[in-house]
Amino acid sequence: MTAYSELSGHFGRIAALSNAVGILQWDSDVMMPKGAAETRADSMALLHVLRHGLVTDPRIGDWLAGAEGDASLGTWEQANLREIRRVWTVETALPADLVEASSKAISACEMRWRQARADADFAGLLPYLTEVLNLQRQIGRAKGEKLGLSPYDALLNDYEPGGHSARIDALFDDLAAFLPGFTQEAMAVQAHRPALEPLEGPFATEAQRALGLRLMAALGYDFERGRLDISTHPFCGGADNDVRITTRYDEADFTKALMGVLHETGHALYEQGRPQGYLNQPVGAARGMSVHESQSLLMEMQACRSRQFLAYAAPLMREAFGGSGPAWEAEAMWRRYTRVEPGFIRVDADEVTYPAHVILRYRLEKALIAGEMTLADLPSAWNDGMKALLGVAVPDDRRGCLQDIHWSSGGWGYFPTYTLGAMTAAQIFDAACRAEPGILPGIGRGDFAPLVGWLRANIHGKGSLLSTDDLLTEATGRPLDAAVFKAHLRRRYLEEA
Amino acid sequence: MTAYSELSGHFGRIAALSNAVGILQWDSDVMMPKGAAETRADSMALLHVLRHGLVTDPRIGDWLAGAEGDASLGTWEQANLREIRRVWTVETALPADLVEASSKAISACEMRWRQARADADFAGLLPYLTEVLNLQRQIGRAKGEKLGLSPYDALLNDYEPGGHSARIDALFDDLAAFLPGFTQEAMAVQAHRPALEPLEGPFATEAQRALGLRLMAALGYDFERGRLDISTHPFCGGADNDVRITTRYDEADFTKALMGVLHETGHALYEQGRPQGYLNQPVGAARGMSVHESQSLLMEMQACRSRQFLAYAAPLMREAFGGSGPAWEAEAMWRRYTRVEPGFIRVDADEVTYPAHVILRYRLEKALIAGEMTLADLPSAWNDGMKALLGVAVPDDRRGCLQDIHWSSGGWGYFPTYTLGAMTAAQIFDAACRAEPGILPGIGRGDFAPLVGWLRANIHGKGSLLSTDDLLTEATGRPLDAAVFKAHLRRRYLEEA
pTM for this entry = 0.95
**Domain closes at, from B48, B65, B92:** B92
Considering its fold, how many domains does chain A have in total?
Answer: 2
Given this model, what pLDDT does residue B496 score? 83
Mutation to test the B interface, candidates A21, A34, A42, most B Cβ within 10 Å: A42
Given this model, what pLDDT does residue A105 score? 94
| B283 and B389 belong to one structural domain | yes
**Residues of A with CB below 8 A from B51's CB?**
none
| A78 and A158 belong to one structural domain | no
User: Are residues B224 and A34, on separate chains, in Cβ contact within 8 Å?
Assistant: yes
| A53 and A156 belong to one structural domain | no
Give the chain A residue nearest B229 (alpha carbons): A31
Given this model, what pLDDT does residue A96 score? 86
CA atoms of A452 and A273, how far apart (whole Å):
9
Q: Which residue segment(s) compose the domain that B362 sits in?
A: 161-221+247-497
Q: Does the beta carbon of B226 lie under 8 angstroms from any beta carbon of chain A? A: yes
Domain contains B151: no
Domain contains B431: yes
Domain contains B426: yes
Domain contains A105: no
Chain B contacts in chain A segment 12-71 (CB below 8 A): 12-13, 15-17, 19-20, 23-24, 27, 31-36, 38-40, 42-43, 45-47, 50
Question: Directed axis angle between helix B289-297 and helix B416-435, to 10°?
Answer: 60
Of A33, A38, A241, the CB nearest to B227: A33
User: Are residues A35 and B227, on separate chains, in Cβ contact within 8 Å?
Assistant: no
Give the chain A residue nearest B279 (alpha carbons): A39
Give me the tens of pLDDT residue by residue for chain B, a chain 497 residues long.
Answer: 899 999 999 999 999 999 999 999 999 999 999 999 999 999 999 999 999 999 999 999 999 999 999 999 999 999 999 999 999 999 999 988 899 899 889 989 999 999 999 999 999 999 999 999 999 999 999 999 999 999 999 999 999 999 999 999 999 999 999 999 999 999 999 999 999 999 999 999 999 999 999 999 999 999 999 999 999 999 999 999 999 999 999 999 999 999 999 999 999 999 999 999 999 999 999 999 999 999 999 999 999 999 999 999 999 999 999 999 999 999 999 999 999 999 999 999 999 999 999 999 999 999 999 999 999 999 999 999 999 999 999 999 999 999 999 999 999 999 999 999 999 999 999 999 999 999 999 999 999 999 999 999 999 999 999 999 999 999 999 999 999 999 999 999 999 87
**Domain closes at, from A92, A112, A130:** A92
| B54 and B174 belong to one structural domain | no
In 3D space, the residue among A211, A307, A221, A314 whose CA is nearest the CA of residue A264 turns out to be A221
- Rounded to a whole number of angstroms, the distance from the CA of A280 to the nearest CA of chain B is 9
| A60 and A162 belong to one structural domain | no
Given this model, what pLDDT does residue B151 score? 98
CA atoms of A227 and A229, how far apart (whole Å):
6
Give the residue ranges of chain A where pLDDT is below 70: none
Give the chain B residue nearest A13 (alpha carbons): B46
Strands A236-239 and A242-247: antiparallel
| A216 and A351 belong to one structural domain | yes
Give start and end residues of each alpha helix (H) in A412-467.
416-435, 439-444, 449-458
| A464 and A385 belong to one structural domain | yes
| B88 and B209 belong to one structural domain | no
| B269 and B407 belong to one structural domain | yes
At residue A244, φ and ψ (nearest 5 deg) are -105, 135
What is the CATH number for B399? 1.10.1370.30
| B59 and B202 belong to one structural domain | no
Q: Does the beta carbon of A115 lie under 8 angstroms from any beta carbon of chain B? A: no
Domain contains A225: yes
Domain contains A146: no
| B449 and B370 belong to one structural domain | yes
Domain contains B142: no
Domain contains A307: yes
| A·B CB contacts under 8 A | 107
User: Are residues A43 and B19, on separate chains, in Cβ contact within 8 Å?
Assistant: yes
In 3D space, the residue among A299, A291, A235 whose CA is nearest the CA of residue A262 turns out to be A299
**Domain closes at, from B66, B92, B118:** B92
Give A439-497 pLDDT, tens digit per residue: 999 999 999 999 999 999 999 999 999 999 999 999 999 999 999 999 999 999 999 87
| A349 and A267 belong to one structural domain | yes
